[in-house]
Every structure is written in C-alpha cells, then in structure tokens.
Chains A and B, each alone.
Chain A
Amino acid sequence: MKADVTVIGGGPGGLVSALFAKRNGAKRVLILEREDELGGILKQCIHNGFGLELFKKDLTGPEYAERLIDDINKEGVDYMLDTMAIHLSKDRTITAVNSKHGVFNIDSKSIVLAMGCRERARGNLVIPGTRPAGIYTAGVAQRFINIDGYLPGKEVVILGSGDIGLIMARRLTLEGAKVKGVYEIMNHPGGLKRNIVQCLNDFDIPLYLSHTVMEIKGKDRVTGVIVAKVDGKMQPIKGTEEFVKCDTLLLSVGLIPENELSKEANIEISSNTKGPVMTETMETSVLGIFSSGNVSVVFDLVDYVAETGVIAGKNAAEFAKEKWENKKFINILPGKNVGILFPQMYSYRDDLVIFFRSKKWIEKTVDIEIQPLNMKMRRFYARPNEMIRIKILKDKLLSVKDDITVSIKEVKE
C-alpha cells in the first residue's frame, strides 16, 4: 500500500494533521485509527470549552470531533478503522494490522505521528496498601460514565488535580456520587483555573493542596484512603494522617506522550517533554516523520493540539511533494524558570511557535525574554498549569545564528 501522507492516530491531532496535509496538496492522505471510529479522546470529553481558537465557538468534545470528521470526509481523506500500527521504520514504512488485510505494509512519503498520550496509572505511583477494586484513572472513569453509562462508585476521592480529574469531580457529582475531595500533592492546582471554579467551587467540592493519599484501605473493594499533609519536600507530615471513607479512588496524576512506535523508528525522545525532539515544522529527528498533538508534549488545550496539527500536516504535505534535508539547525533552550519547552530546534523553514511552561508559580508581573532576539513580553503572571504560547515570524529568525533561549523573569516593582 502506498500513501503520500500517513497519519497514525485519529484523535484531534491526527484529524487536523490529515486535513491540513490534504488542503496543502498531498494526494493520498491516510489515517490509521485503532478504534472503530475517529475522534479519539474527544468523544468521551462531553463537556464544553473546546474550539474557541479553531472554530471560534464554545464546543463540547464530541461536537469538535464531528466537525473535524465532516471536514475529513468532505476533503476526501482516507482512513482505516480498527487498524493498529505495530511497527514504524526509519525509511517511512509502517506495518499495520487489521482483520480485513491481516498484517500489511504502507510505504508513505511522509508520516505524522498522532498517537496522543496515556494516563499515568497506579503502577507509576507508589501507594502502599492492598489492590482492591474501585481504583481507576480519571479517563477510564470518564469513559465508563459518558460512553458506557455506568457509575464507577458512590463515594469518591480524587488524587491529583489535573483537568480530567476536576472535570470528573463535577461529572460524578451531577450523576449523584459524593466526591469527598480532590487531593493535590503540589501547593498549586494542576488543572486550569476555570475548571477549579466551574467543577469544584460550583459544587462545593473541597480541594486540598499539599496533600496526598498515603494508603488505600479495603480488601475486595476500596473502603477508604488515608490522606496526609505534605511538607515542602512532598514528604507526609507525621500526625496529619486522616482516614477518608470512600468506595472509589480516581487518579488524575498526569499524562505521558505515547511513544512506543517512535522509539522503534529510533526517533530521539526528549527527557524534558517525553515526546520526540522536534523542529518548528513539527518534524522529528527522523527525516519525513512529523508529529502532532499530545504525542509531542502534553498540552492543556485542544486548540494547541490542533495548531501543531496544522503545522505538521502542512509540512508533511510539503515533504511528500519534495523531500528536503535539514542543513542548519539552532537549539531552542529553556532558560530561567522555564520547565517544559517545545519545539527544541529551529530549522529556518517556517514560522516558530514555542510552547512552554513556567517551573514556578509566579503570581506577579513577569517578562518573557527571548534571546538573542531581544524580545520581551510582559505578563501579569506565570503559572505551571497554563502553557504559554509565543509565535515568532520566520523573517525575524533568518538572521539568528545562535541558540534561542526562552526565560521568565520576575519584574521588580
């Protein structure tokens, strides 16, 4: 099988990439999706707040997905459902499997990785105690309620204040469960402020910062958890332990890019983002393999996912038309107070959109500084839970020879 651009994954990142590959002139664009319909995680995210950037409308996840799928069909993008990519090689051959074709190969002029991310599960955490039923990641519970129509529990404790956990606190409450509290080990919330307000405050659900779950109680089913306050080093403080009765524990402790396939193709993975090391064109370290959405870095807005999809799709189409070799690169480095930063390289082909997070919770005026461009942007705050996005036009970058550093500096008032 042959394709100009093959997109692995049919969630928002993949759908937008495929659409923009097609709109930029790629002839055969093919999406491989392992589930039986397109849309990815959006289908279970029934809440609103999506699409303000791309569609200029406040949409729910399913609406956002259906609009993209309609566009995919209109533009004649091909897709194969129930199809799993099982191998990826450096020369852009994908091995996939489905019940119709068995195991087959796709030779593609360019590829966009859009496998998304997965939830950190209990295995990644160390909570001692038994392993009773009633422990779920927030995303799994979301699927149970919103798609299967089954309430996972009646009295719930949520560990971690990531966005999915906050949204599930509201969803569980609406469906009649009692959410006892959201416990966050950091001294600031992990999710967006609007979710704290609309999901917790609206329903009087308490948020306990600097708290963690120390132990899970129960033999067959969870009967409760022991929570405690933590100190500055995130160590539980003796004497603050408290038993909270519950039958369900939800984990909302973060997401990690899904890069099993990327590793097989020897794509370099960044220890900072846990996704591929990438250029501004969304190209990975392997020529002609691009990446978009949460497989590159975990975003907090689907609109940002879509934006990387637009860039990856367009450049994958261009690569399919005329192969290129990157001759010149500079690095883009995190400077003072910058944690996660993406993309990591600039290759002088496109405008540069940088996404990054503050390492520190700074609730006063800061300057975002980009050197050696001497760019300075003032902001009222910098918070780790809100990604910052900055776009720099290609014209401004063509004369830059040295590595680019992005820093967040507190302004002395």
Chain B
Amino acid sequence: MIKHFTCVICPMGCEIDAEEEKGKIISLKGNKCARGKEFVVQELEEPLRVLTTTVRIEGAEFNMLPVRTDKPIPKRLIPVIMEDIAKIEINAPVKMYKVIVKNIAGTKVNIIATRSM
C-alpha cells in the first residue's frame, strides 16, 4: 500500500510516498535526505508528538497554567491524556518545569508547567 507523508523535520517539507507492507517500507519516493526516511519509519511505527495544553489554576492572576509533556508521546494517546488533564486543578504558586502529573496515562511521560505563576 502507498502511504503519503509530509516530512516536517526541516522547512523543506518533502512530500513523501512510501510503499509499505505490514509496517515495513519497500520503497520511498520524494524525500530529499535520509532524515526523511527516519521520519516515515517513525510515523509508520508510532507517530510521536509533544502535547501542549493548559490546566486550571487557583490563586493565580490568570485562570489557566500552560503545560506540556516533557517528551513526545504517541499521537493516538492525545485524546485520553486530554481527558485526564481536564480533571486536574492545581494551586498557585507554581514554578516553571514543575511536574504537574507524573507518568500520565501510564506513558512514563510527565506533564510539566511551562511558566511560573
């Protein structure tokens, strides 16, 4: 099966067609460098993204505290993680990079604050 990807590793944004069978790449067309292949391999295996969002905070000047995952997480887990995060409420003060949730949804990834408040 041919799958289409846009590589986002660099601004070039190569449009890559990958011929794939059971998750294995048979041929690649359109990538201008080897990093494009790595990107497609990862996308086929498990697309990873850094999730950035907010949590409710009490006692601060604003209602929302910006947070992110401290590592990229599997894209498919984003909806589950968003649901978990929606339930959280924390209290000020918070320092930038404080861990807000440890090991979110069993991913071994933490949710950390991206500013002090």
Give chain A interface residues in 110-162, CB to chain B under 8 Å.
Answer: 145-149
Most buried by A among B11, B47, B56, B75: B11
**B64 in contact with A149 (CB, 8 Å):** yes
On whether A201 and B68 interact (CB within 8 A), knowing A46-B52, A66-B96, A66-B115, the answer reads no
On whether A62 and B66 interact (CB within 8 A), knowing A174-B82, A193-B11, A202-B49, the answer reads yes
**A380 in contact with B32 (CB, 8 Å):** yes
Q: When each residue 27-68 of chain A gets 1 if its CB lies under 8 Å from chain B and 0 otherwise, what string results?
A: 000000000110000010011100000000010111101100
On whether A194 and B8 interact (CB within 8 A), knowing A63-B96, A202-B75, the answer reads yes
C-alpha gap A36/B63 in the complex (Å) = 15
On whether A146 and B66 interact (CB within 8 A), knowing A66-B96, A174-B53, the answer reads yes
Closest B residue by C-beta to A37: B61
Give chain A interface residues in 174-192, CB to chain B under 8 Å.
Answer: 174-175, 192
**B50 in contact with A63 (CB, 8 Å):** no
- Closest CB in chain B relative to A149 CB, distance in Å: 4
Total chain B interface residues with beta-carbon distance under 8 A? 26
Is A198 engaged at the interface, CB distance under 8 Å to the other chain?
A: yes
**B50 in contact with A194 (CB, 8 Å):** no
Q: Which of B13, B66, B114 is the one whose CB lies under 8 Å from A194?
A: B13
Chain A residues, Cβ within 8 Å of B116 = 66
Q: When each residue 9-20 of chain B gets 1 if its CB lies under 8 Å from chain A and 0 otherwise, what string results?
A: 001110000000
Q: Which of B52, B62, B115 is the one whose CB lies under 8 Å from A47?
A: B52
**B11 in contact with A58 (CB, 8 Å):** no
C-alpha gap A386/B54 in the complex (Å) = 29
Is A249 engaged at the interface, CB distance under 8 Å to the other chain?
A: no
Is A197 engaged at the interface, CB distance under 8 Å to the other chain?
A: yes
C-alpha gap A374/B82 in the complex (Å) = 54
C-alpha gap A58/B78 in the complex (Å) = 20
Chain B residues, Cβ within 8 Å of A63 = 96, 114-115
Is A316 engaged at the interface, CB distance under 8 Å to the other chain?
A: no
Q: Indicate the size class of the contact surface on chain A.
A: 20 to 34
Chain A residues, Cβ within 8 Å of B62 = 147-148
- Closest CB in chain B relative to A294 CB, distance in Å: 20
**B11 in contact with A198 (CB, 8 Å):** no
**A146 in contact with B54 (CB, 8 Å):** yes
Q: When each residue 44-85 of chain B gets 1 if its CB lies under 8 Å from chain A and 0 otherwise, what string results?
A: 000101101110100001111010100000010010001000
**B6 in contact with A193 (CB, 8 Å):** yes
Chain A residues, Cβ within 8 Å of B32 = 380
Q: Which of B8, B49, B54, B61 is the one whose CB lies under 8 Å from A149?
A: B54
Closest A residue by C-beta to B82: A174
Is A85 engaged at the interface, CB distance under 8 Å to the other chain?
A: no
- Closest CB in chain B relative to A261 CB, distance in Å: 27
- Closest CB in chain A relative to B29 CB, distance in Å: 16
Chain B residues, Cβ within 8 Å of A43 = 115
C-alpha gap A194/B61 in the complex (Å) = 33
On whether A48 and B52 interact (CB within 8 A), knowing A63-B96, A147-B63, A148-B63, the answer reads yes
C-alpha gap A65/B115 in the complex (Å) = 9
- Closest CB in chain B relative to A413 CB, distance in Å: 15
On whether A48 and B50 interact (CB within 8 A), knowing A60-B68, A192-B11, the answer reads yes
Chain A residues, Cβ within 8 Å of B13 = 193-194, 197
Chain A residues, Cβ within 8 Å of B8 = 193-194, 197-198
Chain A residues, Cβ within 8 Å of B82 = 174-175
Most buried by B among A43, A65, A149, A198: A149
On whether A194 and B11 interact (CB within 8 A), knowing A43-B115, A202-B75, the answer reads yes
Give chain B interface residues in 99-117, CB to chain A under 8 Å.
Answer: 114-116
Closest B residue by C-beta to A36: B61
Is A196 engaged at the interface, CB distance under 8 Å to the other chain?
A: yes
7 pairs of A and B residues whose beta carbons are closest in the complex: A193-B13, A62-B115, A46-B66, A149-B63, A149-B64, A194-B8, A60-B114
In the complex, 14 of the A-B residue pairs with CB atoms within 8 angstroms, ordered by the A residue number, are: A36-B61, A37-B61, A48-B52, A62-B66, A62-B96, A62-B114, A147-B62, A147-B63, A148-B62, A148-B63, A175-B53, A193-B13, A194-B11, A197-B8
Given contacts A46-B53, A46-B66, 8 further A-B contacts (CB under 8 A): A58-B50, A62-B96, A146-B54, A147-B62, A149-B63, A175-B82, A197-B6, A197-B13
